[in-house]
Structure 1
Amino acid sequence: MMIAHLAIWTQDLERIRAFYETYFGATSSAIYQNSAKQFSSYFLSFGEGCQLELMHRPDVPTDSTDPLVQRTGLIHFAVSVGSHRQVDLLTNRLKTDGFRVVDGPRTTGDGYYESVVLDPEQNRIEITI
């Protein structure tokens, strides 16, 4: 068994797609649009493994006051970049470009080397080896 994809509801579909293409080397599918539901999405691929689905619908709220209602965002996901050096380089690039680095790079108590950054809609991304 494997995870096929993760999904993020987003307020700005094009901006978030460009972020993952620019900083994480994602390759995007063509846009899917369902005008009846005012829904649009992209599937992003990262070479192999799990895909990321970016979704937009204007009625999805940005807050999480009701856990049974759809809302934008997720808690976090991790992207493996292959080495300590690549974690450092990507983290520094994102920081230089104005994205917030929440933590690290550092070695965690359980031995992972990682940093945590926020994407344009404040979703947490762990960058790890």
Structure 2
Amino acid sequence: MRIGNVGIFVKDLAGARKFFEDYFGATLLKTYNEEENNYYSDILQLDEGAWIELMTKPEIVDAPKDPNRTGLAHICIKVNSRPELDRIIQKFKRDGYKIQYEPSNPTGGGEVRAVTFEDIVLEVNYTPVA
């Protein structure tokens, strides 16, 4: 078994799509629109097959999100190299996203967890192959 996709409701569908394209090289697989229900989604694919479904409709509520809330804590995206991880960390910082932690790893790996676009908590991880 495997997880097929992660669905995320957002207020700004185009902005969320651009975020995942710019940071992670996501590509648009398909767009799904239900005009009669005011429901719209973009399904994105990361380079190794994982899908992220970004969804919106006018009546969604964008309540404040405490990082210590119940429910989904974060989404982890694994990258293929330490330089790629370092690039994303620097971009998070340049774009003003709140870094929760960025421990380094003596084996060359590492990770960062940040509160990103529309308060989506992402962990980005690099683990060297032994």
TM-score, normalised relative to structure 1: 0.80
**Counterpart-to-counterpart distance in 2, 1:99 and 1:49:** 26
Q: CA deviation at 1:60?
A: 1.7
Contact 1:105 1:116 in 2 (8 A): no
Letter in 2 for 1:113: G
Q: What residue is the counterpart of 1:117 in the other structure? A: 114
Opposite residue 103 of structure 1, the aligned amino acid is: Y
Gaps of 5+ in 1: 65-72
Structure 2 unmatched ranges of 5 or more: 65-70
Structure-to-structure mapping, 1:8-23, within 5 angstroms: 8-23=8-23
Q: Partner residue of 1:24? A: 24
What is the CA-CA distance between 1:105 and the residue it aligns to?
A: 4.1
Deviations 1:93-117 (A, max 9, x none): 221133222211434xxxx721012
| Count of equivalent residues | 118
Distance 2:83 2:124 in 1: 11
Contact 1:19 / 1:119 at 8 angstroms: preserved in 2?
A: no
The answer to which of 5-14 and 118-127 deviates more is 118-127
Superposed structure 1 runs of 4+ greater than 3 Å apart: none
RMSD over aligned Cα atoms: 2.2
Secondary structure of the residue aligned to 1:93 is helix
For residues 80 and 123 of structure 1, do their structure 2 counterparts lie closer, same or farther at Cα, with a shift above 3 Å needed? Answer: same
TM-score, normalising length from structure 2? 0.80
CA distance in structure 1 between the aligned counterparts of 2:75 and 2:111, rounded to whole angstroms: 12
Matched, 1:54 2:54: yes
Aligned to 1:101: 99
How many Å apart are 1:27 and its aligned residue? 0.2
Preserved contact between residue 21 and residue 27 of structure 2 (Cα < 8 Å) = yes
Between the aligned residues of both structures, percent identity stands at: 30
Amino acid at match of 1:17: R
